[in-house]
Amino acid sequence: MVAAILVAGCTSRKPKPQPAAPPEAEEEKPALPEHVRLGGGDFVLTAPEGGRLWQGSGKSFDWDTQAQTAVLTDAKGTFFEAGKPALEGAASRIRVDTKARVVYLDEGVQASSPVTGAAFSADRAEWRADEQKVYGQGNVKVVRGQSEASADRLVADTALKRVRLEGEGRPVTLRIVQTPGKALW
C-alpha cells in the first residue's frame, strides 16, 4: 500500500524577502509521484485511508524522487494518533521516508506531548507510523513537571503515555521532586 502524501510547500520563512532571491522551492519542485503534491503550507504525511500522520514545516525542503524521502531543515512538526495531535517535535533536520512512513529527527531533538504533558529531548529520534511508536537515542531526557529522567534510549507511544528508558552501560536515572507536605520520609 502506498501512503497518500500531501507535500504542501515547506518554504523558507525569511523575515525580509531578498530582492534577488533564488526561486522558491515551489518553483524548483522536482517531478513528484502522483500521490505527492507540493503547495503552500506544511508537509503532510497521510495514511493510506487518508488520516493525517505527520504534519510539519522547515526552513528548507528537499525531495528525493527516487527514495521518496523529504528532508526538512530547522524543522518542526506534529505527530498524530488516531487523527489527533499527540506529539510536537522539532529538530535541526527531519527526514520523512514516505514509503516506510517513518519520520527521522536528527540533532537537538525536542518533543512534547499535549496529551500527557511529558516532554523529551535526545540526540536523535525516529517515529514509526505503523507502530505508532517513537524511538529516541543518545542523551535522552524525559521531563514531566519537576521530575526528570535520563537514559541512553527511549521507546514510547506517540503521546508519551508509556515510556521505556534504557541505559547503555550506565543506569537510568529518575530525579523526582516531592512537593512540600509530600516528603517520602
Partner 1 sequence: MKAWRTALPVCALCLLALGAAQPQAQKMQRIEIEATGPVEIDFEKGVAHAEKDARLTTRDGTFAADSMDFTFDQASAIVSLSAAGHVRIKVKTLTKDKVERQIDASADAATYEQKDRLLTLKGNVKGKIVEPARRRTYDLTSREATVQLDGDRMHFVGPKITITQPEAAPEPAPEKP
Q: Which is nearer to partner 1, 66 or 179 (CB)?
A: 179
Q: How many residues bind partner 1 (CB under 8 A)?
A: 33
Among 23, 78, 116, 122, binds partner 1 (CB under 8 A): 116
Q: Is 31 exposed, middle or buried (0-12, 13-18, 19+ CB in 10 A)?
A: exposed
Is residue 177 close enough to count as binding partner 1 by CB under 8 A?
A: yes
Find where cell 506534529 sits.
Answer: 78
Write the binding mask 126 to 145 for partner 1: x where contact by CB under 8 A, - elsewhere.
Answer: ----------------x-xx
Which bin fits 77, alpha (ψ -120 to 50), beta or left (φ > 0)? beta
4 binds partner 1 (CB under 8 A): no
Which run of H or of E encompasses 117?
none
CA distance 117 to 119: 7
**Residue 68 CB, nearest distance to partner 1 (Å)?**
35
x/- mask, partner 1, residues 143-162, rule CB under 8 A, reads: -xxxx-x-x--------xxx
Q: Which of 30, 51, 114, 178 binds partner 1 (CB under 8 A)?
A: 178
- The C-alpha atoms of residue 89 and residue 107 are separated, in whole angstroms, by 12
Q: 30: which residues sit within 8 A by CB, 6+ positions away?
A: 63, 65
Residue 65 in the binding site for partner 1 (CB under 8 A): no
Q: State the nearest-atom distance from the C-beta of 123 to partner 1, in Å.
A: 19
Q: Which stretch binds partner 1 (CB under 8 A): 24-32, 62-70, 85-93, 113-121?
A: 113-121
Coil/strand/helix, residue 133? strand
Buried/exposed code over 88-111 (b: 16+ C-beta within 10 A; e: otherwise): bbbbbbbbbbbeebbbbbbeebbb
List contacts with partner 1 (CB under 8 A): 116-118, 142, 144-147, 149, 151, 160-167, 171-185
